[in-house]
Amino acid sequence: MYNFGFDARNYFPIYRNFIWALRASGDFSWGNHKVVYYLGGTDGWLFPKANNTPQPAQDNSYAFQSLAVNLRGFNQNVANGNNNMIINSELRLPVFTTLFNKPINNAFLRNFQVIQFFDLGSAWNGNYGGLSRPTQTIGGPNDPNNPGPLAVLLKAGGIGPFAGGYGFGARSTLLGYFLRFDAGWQMNTFFGGKPVMNVSMGVGF
C-alpha cells in the first residue's frame, strides 16, 4: 500500500481575535491494498448520517477505509474513492474575547465563537486525473429516505469539479469538551431546503 497526503493551513487576522482560516488537504492511495475515502460530514460527528450509495468501486482492492472531511451540507459518502481533495474556508469570530477587553473566567464564554464557512471537496476512484463533481442518487431500492423502483442521478451542488457547502456554526467548551455545531446547505440554491446539521466533538478544522 502506498499513501500520500497533505494538509496546509493559514490564518489571516482581521480584527483582534477575529480571523479568516483556510485549509487545503488531499489524500491519494494506490497499490494492492488501497484506502477508500468517504467524502462528507465533519470530523468527530456525534450523530453521523451516511448515504448507502454510491458503493466503492468493485475493481479496486480496498483494504482500509477513512473519512474525507470537512464537507458540510452533505451526509457522509456523497462520493468515495481512493483519492480526495478538500478546501475549507472559515470566518471565526470569538465573540466575547473580541468585543471585551477584560479577562473572561467562564470557559464557555471565553471560547464561544461564531463562524461562517465554505467547503469544497471531491473524492474519486482511479487516477489523479479523474477529479470530477460527485453525483448523488435519489430514490431506488437502496435509498431509505426515498425508496422506490426508480433512481435519479443528480450532480451535487458545488463549483467546478468540487461538491460545495456553505453555512454557519458555533463553537465553545462545555463540561470540558470542545463542541461544534454547524448548519450547512449545498451550493445549488440560496439557503434552499433543509440544512444538514452537524454536532461534532473536537478541535478539528
63 is in which domain, residue-wise?
2-201
pLDDT of residue 117: 98
pLDDT of residue 190: 86
For residue 76, give the C-alpha cell: 457522509
pTM: 0.90
pLDDT of residue 129: 80
- In which residue ranges of the chain is pLDDT below 50? none
pLDDT of residue 199: 97
Bridge pairing between strands 18-30 and 34-39: unpaired
pLDDT of residue 58: 84
For residue 45, give the C-alpha cell: 460527528
Count of Cβ atoms closer than 10 Å to residue 164 Cβ: 25
Check: CB of residue 202 under 8 Å from CB of residue 43.
yes
Domains identified in the chain, total number:
1
pLDDT of residue 127: 82
